[in-house]
Structure 1
Amino acid sequence: MAEQSQFQLLAQRRFLPFFGAQALGAFNDNVYKNTLVILATYQAASYTQLEPALLTNIAAGLFILPFVLFSGMAGQLADRYDKARVLKFVKAAEIAIMAIAGFGFATHSIEVLLGALFLMGMHSTFFAPAKYGLLPEVLRDSELVGGNAMVEMGTFVAIVLGTLVAGLLAAHGGIALIVTTLVAISLLGFLSSLVIPKLQPAAPTLKIDWRPWTSTWENLRAAGESRTVFLSILGISWFWFYGAVVLAQLPLYTKDVLGGSEEVVTVLLVMFSAGVGIGSLLCERLSGRKVEIGLVPFGSIGLTVFAVDLYLATPAMAGTDLSARDFIQTAGSWRVLMDMALIGLFGGLFIVPLYAMVQQRTRREIMSRVIGANSILNAVFMVVAAGLAAVALNAGLTIPQLLLLTGVLNAFVAIYIYSLVPEFLLRFVAWLLIHFVYRLDRRGIDNIPEEGPALLICNHVGFADAIVISAACPRPIRFIMESSIFKIPVLSTIFRGMKAIPVAPQKENPEVYERAFQLVAAELRDGNLVCIFPEGRLTPDGEIGEFRAGMMRILKETPVPVVPLSLSGLWDSMLSRKYKQVWKRWPRRFLAKITLKVGEPVPAERAEVQDLRQRVVELRGAAQ
């Protein structure tokens, strides 16, 4: 059956009502927040005596505060009950909140309006764990990236539209139109949620802890169950830190540095949000419909490069109160606009795989609590971002210098995270290899089990075999690597990061030999994939050599299915031993096609050395 596009999810009941409810929620958030801030800024006397700058910060703090206080409970509720039911209750509450906000607008009560804003923060707090926890329950693994991409795209489109509608309502709409719009959007969101199919609770016996601090700690503890998941959450939170710094500076950056009017602020925000949407949608195409964390380093590189370029692109001289049209006609303006769009685009490439990996590698029973922990850390990072920006600006940094500092900090944070979890960087290397050096044709990849242990066996053509197989397989693999290859400079760093298992001939180094079998048995007992190259060495002539009997000891000690693989197209590569002299090893064909074929699993009790070799030979065929 042909693979479906991510957009075809919008034609399915399991996704469309949920997508509509979450997008309308984000839309309403932004319509309300921005309408409130604009009216309180330009009609301050009729609402409050507070300074507009102070009011803006109070509003931002009140919206974020519930994420810190109540995300723990929100995560537990979404695990305890049907997530679809939780979403419906939250969307029903949104109607009541907008009615309260309408009363605040009608009476010009800033206290009521800020109270409603706090309640909208609570709405989003309880919505998020059910929202992200629902996706892995209704989507297949091959749809996770596309589903998350659609959600992120929908969210940022909603932010742009909400900002634009808020500007129109504040400038040209009366109180009656504002209130009607807010209530109508919330009502549409509630009606959309009613169509979301019912789900089974993930943890129906879970006891809800109604104490904010202890429930928060419980969520953080659940997130820390997997080190990779926790560091992915930190990566997501860093993106919100980065985004909070950049977006918070846009109004002053536009007014004081670019000399633009409010129209230019909107244009920059639209470019950023459009970039995030495009980057999110690109994830599915670039990842091959699997969770490809190799895109995360790619995204972080772009976040740094274009933040630095935005600093360099900032004009030395600016105009005064330029309209959007005048700004676009100003020299250098398109570079600034493209930098904003590309920051958003690489942000999408950065964040979507992280969300998908958190969902893929978290147990269903604790999924929403982990998402709750993500909300908590996101909020904390955004508060820290606001504090850092305030301190930096008070210390004398200009806004362009603050943006430059953020880009540089992003590079250091990325390097630190990738040093803790080399898998991100290794997948990036693998992704680059099969997209910019080779064209990889994967056949029968579904024969690799989605879960549980298996021993993969493959012919050994070149130094990059393990990287190619790793790039093609959606699951992590532990490779058994010939110790001589394991010691090659540069490749050694990659293989160590992959946690490859070095093995040496028994006569040469019996200790390394025995240790390899112990590690392999432990990995298989833990339900992981292990790959061995049974020839025991790189092919010297492009042909498949005799298989050694070492793999039979593995199967005797830990009986698991054996999955035969074959690689072809790499023999004429710079990464094979065809060319003895180093200077002859240059790429002979741009994007040369290589093929990885995966055969059907063979039960351990039926596995024989010669039969397995024959299966690999037949899979490869005549091609080398």
Structure 2
Amino acid sequence: MAEPSLTSRHFVPLFITQALGALNDNLFKNALVVMALYSLSPGMAGALSALSGGLFLLPYILVSAPAGQLADAHGKTRLMLWTKYWELGLMVLAFCGFLTGHFGFLLAVLLGLGLQAAFFSPLKYGILPELFSGDRLVKSNGAIEAGTFAGIVLGTVAGGILILLPQGRIWAPLAAICLSLAGIVSARMIPASRAAAPGLKPDWHLWRANIELLRAAYHRGPVWFASLGISWFWAMGATVLAAFPVLAKTWLHADGHVVTLLLAVFAMGVGVGSLAAARLVHARNLLHFVLPAGLGMSLFIADFAHVCAHLAAPDIPALLRHAPGWRALADLALTALCGGVFSVPFYVMLQANAAPSMRARMVGANNILNAVATLAAGGVEAFAYAKGTSPAAILDAAALFNLAVMGWIWRASRAARHTPSSG
């Protein structure tokens, strides 16, 4: 039987479902952060903003093992639909939280969204190799990543705009509820899938389950290698994103709109890079563009830091008025584009080298490593800022560390050169 195309009913509803989920998560998170900025003291608002990122990632560390086990044990399509109903319930609760302005309640909703996302991730990445192989698996991963980052951009912008409208505490959660309903409709259109490991029971002893899952991934060399590559991408992304507010405030003397623009440019760059990977990368030579993309990340991050150190842009018009502002945006876009090209081959390598009966669990192991790497990068960066380190120094250090990682990838990739192109 011929594989479906990326424009078929097998893929389009999946693409829409996951993109709407990313959009909704980021709409809610940014609406919450912006409301806090205008409702709480600067210190409390900053603490809430920092806490929100950790709360959303924490479930990936806690429940990725049983999430992967459930995804392998049952039809992924049916579970996707249930996660979308779960999302709808959370958005109804969010409506109540925004109306009352109870930030503790809204943070609990955010934690619930993190749990929902942790269970959804093994489903969306685990089902792709059931539909595609070879170059189509590469293209489908590129499309999924592009849709995810497009959702991040649109959700972040929409959340900030909606919450600042008159009656924004009604419009923002109402939009989130509508997006959840649309996600349910699209999820119902995804064709049914079979269980990869029928009868598998989830282990809710979380510490034991996670350790066993990571051990299983470690003993599958290409899977572990791919997971480390993806985790490094997320750690680098977290480092660059966390630098935006500090850099904008201390160097650019910019307002919040400039930070939003930097975030949008970065997210769109990763999306474009993911689409570029879908066209350039081939299954028979997955890692061909990984090293050039990684070297590009270091080059453009370092140049971005250098340009911003000599740039003053209190608002977007001021940023766009001079050539250094455009150069900084180009550096940022190219850094992100290289990141997209860098990450997609590793996702394909993970999926192609995981046994079909364990594929979702291997995605779960990758999610644990991603979350740990992201939180660790954020913690190290926060400590460096507390010690008075400048954003430029942190970004330059990240660029240098990235060069070292590229050296490791170059050596390790020789052992993984003959990667299978299908699951």
Q: TM-score range by the shorter chain?
A: over 0.9
Structure 1 match to 2:134: 141
- 8 A Cα contact 2:297 2:399, kept in partner: yes
Give the match for residue 39 of structure 2: 43
The Cα RMSD (Å) is 2.0
Other-structure match for 1:329: 321
- Which residue is equivalent to 2:83? 90
Given that residues 144 and 290 in structure 1 are in contact (C-alpha distance below 8 angstroms), is that contact kept between their aligned partners in structure 2? Answer: no
1:219 aligned onto 2:239: no
Whether the 8 Å CA contact 1:222–1:369 is kept in 2: the answer is no
Q: What is the aligned partner in structure 2 of residue 29 from structure 1?
A: 25
Return 120-129 or 254-263, whichever deviates more.
Answer: 254-263
Q: 1:311 is aligned with what amino acid?
A: A
1:200 corresponds in structure 2 to 194
Find the aligned partners of 1:366 and 1:70 in 2 and give their Cα distance: 16
Pairing 1:126-275 to 2, within 5 Å after superposition:
126-174=119-167, 175-275=169-269
How many residues are matched?
A: 419
Q: Which runs of 5+ in 2 are unaligned?
A: none
Alpha-carbon deviations, 1:99-147, whole Å to 9, x = none? 1111111111111101000000001100001110010001132201100
Output aligned runs, 1:352-431, within 5 Å: 352-423=344-415
* 1:294 corresponding residue in structure 2: 288
How far is 1:14 from its partner?
0.7
Indicate if the aligned counterparts of 1:280 and 1:348 stay in contact, CA closer than 8 A. Answer: yes
Distance 1:330 1:315 in 2: 15
Distance 1:173 1:69 in 2: 39
1:108-123 matched pairs, under 5 angstroms: 108-123=101-116
Shift of 1:289: 6.1
Counterpart of 1:18 in structure 2 is: 14
* Distance in 2, Cα, partners of 1:301 & 1:371: 26
The equivalent residue for 1:104 is: 97
Greater radius of gyration (CA): 1
Q: Distance in 2 between matches of 1:108 and 1:271?
A: 31
Which structure: greater helix fraction? 2
Residue 163 to residue 291, structure 1, CA distance change in 2 (3 Å): farther
Q: In the alignment, residue 140 of structure 1 is paired with which amino acid? A: S
C-alpha distance after superposition, 1:135-173 (max 9, x if no partner): 000113220110000000000111000111011112215
Q: In 2, Cα distance between the equivalents of 1:405 and 1:151?
A: 31
The separation in 2 between residues aligned to 1:282 and 1:151, in whole angstroms, is 13
Distance 1:76 1:115 in 2: 25
Q: What is the CA–CA distance in structure 1 between the aligned matches of 2:153 and 2:121, rounded to whole Å?
A: 20
Deviation at 1:225, TM superposition (A): 3.0
1:56 is aligned to: 49
Please state how far the C-alpha of 1:202 moved relative to its aligned partner. Answer: 0.4
What is the TM-score with the length of structure 2 in the denominator? 0.95
Q: Find the counterpart in structure 2 of residue 591 from structure 1.
A: none
After superposition, give the CA deviation of every residue in 1:294-351 in whole Å (9 maximum; x if it has no partner). 22112211111111111222242524xx221221103411110011000110001100
Counterpart of 1:349 in structure 2 is 341
Tell me, yes or no, if the aligned pair for 2:197 and 2:358 is still in contact at 8 Å.
yes
Provide the secondary structure at the position in 1 that maps to 2:368.
Answer: helix
Q: Which amino acid aligns with 2:330?
A: M
1:326 maps to amino acid:
A
Give 1:35's aligned amino acid: A
Cα drift, residue 423 of structure 1: 4.5
Once residues 223 and 283 of structure 2 are traced to their aligned partners in structure 1, the CA distance between those partners, rounded to angstroms, is: 20
| Contact 2:28/2:173 (<8 A) preserved | no
Q: Which residue does 1:537 correspond to in 2? A: none
Does the alignment pair 1:338 with 2:330? yes
Distance (whole Å) between structure 2 residues aligned to residue 219 and residue 475 of structure 1: 22
For residues 360 and 308 of structure 1, do their structure 2 counterparts lie closer, same or farther at Cα, with a shift above 3 Å needed? same
Question: Does residue 1:307 correspond to 2:306, yes or no?
Answer: no
Q: 1:415 to 1:257 in 2, by over 3 A?
A: same
Cα distance in 2, alignment partners of residues 291 and 195 from structure 1: 34
Letter in 1 for 2:24: N
* Partner in structure 2 of residue 597 of structure 1: none
Partner SS state of residue 286, structure 2? coil
Following the alignment from structure 2 to structure 1, what is the Cα–Cα distance between the partners of residues 51 and 272? 32
1:401 Cα deviation (Å)? Answer: 1.0
Alpha-carbon distance change, 252 to 173 in structure 1, aligned in 2, over 3 angstroms: farther
CA distance in 2, matches of 1:21, 1:195: 10
1:125 counterpart (113, 118, 121)? 118
Give % identity. 38
Deviation at 1:216, TM superposition (A): 1.0
Distance 2:196 2:370 in 1: 24
Whether the aligned pair in 2 keeps the contact of 1:136 and 1:144 (CA below 8 Å) is yes
Shift of 1:399: 0.6
Query: Is the 1:293–1:357 contact (alpha carbons within 8 Å) kept by the matching residues of 2?
Result: no
TM-score (norm 1): 0.65
**What is the one-letter code of the residue matched to 1:287?**
V
Give distance in 2, aligned partners of 1:148 and 1:323: 36
Give 1:394 shift. Answer: 2.4
Between the aligned partners of 1:289 and 1:277, the Cα distance in structure 2 is 20
Which range moves more in the overlay, 344-353 or 219-228?
219-228
Please identify which structure carries the higher strand content. Answer: 1
1:177 CA drift (Å): 1.2
Within 5 Å, which residues of 2 pair with 1:446-457? Answer: none
Alpha-carbon distance between aligned partners in 2 of 1:330 and 1:405, rounded to the nearest angstrom: 27
Deviation (angstroms), 1:185? 0.6
Partner Cα separation in structure 1 for residue 110 and residue 84 of structure 2: 15
Deviation at 1:282, TM superposition (A): 1.1
Structure 1 pair 275/50, CA: closer, same or farther in 2 (3 Å)?
closer
Cα 1:224–1:330 change in 2 (3 A) is same
Partner of 1:281: 275
| Letter of the structure 2 residue corresponding to residue 17 of structure 1 | P
Unaligned runs of 5+ in 1: 428-469, 477-624
In structure 2, C-alpha distance between the alignment counterparts of 1:206 and 1:153, rounded to whole Å: 32
- The CA distance in 2 between the partners of 1:338 and 1:317, in whole Å, is 14
Q: Contact between 2:352 and 2:420, CA under 8 Å: does it hold in 1? A: no
Q: Deviations over 1:261-284 (max 9, x none)?
A: 222112212221221111111113
CA offset at residue 421 of structure 1?
3.4
Task: Name the CA distance, whole Å, in 1 between partners of 2:13 and 2:38.
Answer: 37
Which residue pairs with 1:581 in the alignment?
A: none
